[in-house]
Structure 1
Amino acid sequence: MEIIKASLMMLGLMTFLCGLLYTLTVTGIAQVFFPDLANGSQISVIDQGGKSVIVGSELIGQEFTAPQFLQGRPKAGPSNLSPVSPEQQGIIAERIKTLLKENGSKEEIPSELVLASGSGLDPEISRLAADYQIPRLVETTHLNQAEITRLLDKHTKGRLFGKIGDERVNVLQVNLELANFQVK
């Protein structure tokens, strides 16, 4: 009976320490020092009524297919296709055909616009992939090439520590500005 009582007391103590106290402490520290990150890096816009509305997160990609918007990586659905399978090659060929038709460019297509993301949630694309889409954006928006380039510059994040990876562009932030929203 003593063993059961001691076990239950230990269960209660550890549940309190690990399940409640630790969780509240970490959440509190995150809210104090990193409130934007702790709340999901939400992106808000001001609607026509002047009210702030949350439209997404800087950390989770959204799919944009309309030609007047910057397009991110293709979404990955559940699949067990091999990268060299004929079905997968057909999917990739179709994506290339669509990109060539939409963008009208014969320059090399950045691979991230053709190959699906592993997570399916990438919020950013490389600056190279964003620049590839500039001619289509010029054709389908009221902006000229210089204005679109400035917009991409505004939402481009540099390489990590100036050396690692590529410059990245947040697709949602660019598209909100293309849609004439005031990003908050």
Structure 2
Amino acid sequence: MLDAGLVEQAIARTESFDPSVDLARVRAHTDLLTAEFETFGVAVPAATRNITLMRALMVPIADEALSFAVDRIWVFVTNIDDVNDVNDALSFYKEAVDVEDFRISRIHRRAVQEGIPYLAAYRRSVDSGLEAYRRVLRLADDEQRPYLERYMTAYVYWHLHCRYRWQDVYPDLTMIDV
């Protein structure tokens, strides 16, 4: 692997990258998020610091409120499987059209593993995704909530308009193609 030179290429590619990150803010956000999630009975792993640092490196944000709101989203969606249920619920049409995608989808696997109808497994994914949405919003204060609401709405919008072929079923949904 090392003889292939791929690591050296990756290092060379990042040499000019300026990782100006406020490490004190990363530590503070990590501590606040860990305590906040624990208050709501959500245990987040030690990787929270890494996730917060990754966000700061990838999407630097000067505004403190927005920065903290985005950190909350990244930590939450990375650690809470329920948010993935939104993705699963919105991708089911694409998966239903492609038999192989359908067989490997989480909803189908859940239905088979638990011996329940597909519709019941789908409904559970929808309910779980909606509860995750409500949970994310409950974690926010009044200043942060608009950012989180925008993120969650855009997340669903993106899936409907950009990703999962919903225009086949709902022709009025405009496809966004870049």
Task: Point out the structure with the larger strand share.
Answer: 1
Q: Normalising by structure 1, what TM-score?
A: 0.25
TM-score (norm 2): 0.25
The higher relative CO (CA closer than 8 Å, separation ≥ 6) is in 1
